[in-house]
Structure formats: structure tokens, C-alpha cells
């Protein structure tokens, strides 16, 4: 678990690039699978191909994923892998979310 420290409320440290629902899903699935295929991501996240492509472009531009294009047989394929920066960003985001959950649970106790 990554320890997240610093002043302010944990929500102020959430990363806008990572925190968006589809992008958080992409990073999480890529972390679980190590190397995932575009079609699998599209199906799992229930996104259109165009919408997924836009999210992948944002994550790639931020250096959080690597996109590899190639062929499997005669079919073109796109594979996504998490970069070291992506692994760190995901761990930081999860750390912030854990802090938020802990605050909510403590306030409800």
C-alpha cells in the first residue's frame, strides 16, 4: 500500500487524468492483466471504440500507458500496458481513495 501524506483533504490529491471513471478502469485492468487488448478493454468498460481511443490517447500522452499495435494472424490488434509512471499514478490514486473511505467510515462510527 502506498502511503499518501500531505496537507489538505485527500480529495485535493486526486489526479484528474487518472480519476475519470473510464481511465481509472483502463489503468486498473492494465495493472491486473499486464498486457491487455483493446477489444477486451472496450467490452469490459462498456465503451465505444472511439470513446476508448480518446481515453487511451489521454493516458498515453500523460505517459501512464504504452500502446503497441501489431497483428495477430491477419487482424490488426492494439495492446495496452501500464508504464512505471502509470503504476505509480494508480497506486497514488488508490491511496487517496483509501484515505477518503477511512474518513467516511470514521465519521459514521
Q: Where are the domains of the chain?
A: 14-108
pLDDT tens digits for range 62-84? 999 999 998 878 888 999 999 99
What integer pLDDT is reported at residue 40 of this predicted model?
Answer: 96
Q: Choose between 109 and 57: higher pLDDT.
A: 57
**d(Cα 86, Cα 55) in Å, to the nearest integer?**
14
Q: What is the CATH number that goes with domain 14-108?
A: 1.10.10.10
* Averaged pLDDT score across all residues of the chain: 90
What integer pLDDT is reported at residue 61 of this predicted model?
Answer: 97
For residue 76, the number of C-alpha atoms closer than 13 Å in the C-beta half-sphere is 2
Amino acid at each position: 500500500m502506498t502511503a499518501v501524506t500531505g496537507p489538505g483533504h485527500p480529495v485535493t490529491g486526486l489526479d484528474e487524468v487518472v480519476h475519470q471513471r473510464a481511465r481509472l478502469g483502463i489503468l486498473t485492468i492494465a495493472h491486473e492483466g499486464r498486457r491487455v487488448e483493446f477489444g477486451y478493454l472496450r467490452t469490459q468498460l462498456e465503451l465505444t471504440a472511439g470513446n476508448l481511443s480518446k481515453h487511451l490517447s489521454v493516458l498515453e500522452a500523460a505517459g501512464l500507458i504504452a500502446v503497441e499495435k501489431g497483428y495477430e494472424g491477419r487482424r490488426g490488434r492494439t495492446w495496452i500496458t501500464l508504464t512505471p509512471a502509470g503504476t505509480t499514478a494508480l497506486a497514488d490514486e488508490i491511496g487517496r481513495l483509501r484515505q477518503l473511505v477511512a474518513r467516511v467510515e470514521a465519521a459514521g462510527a
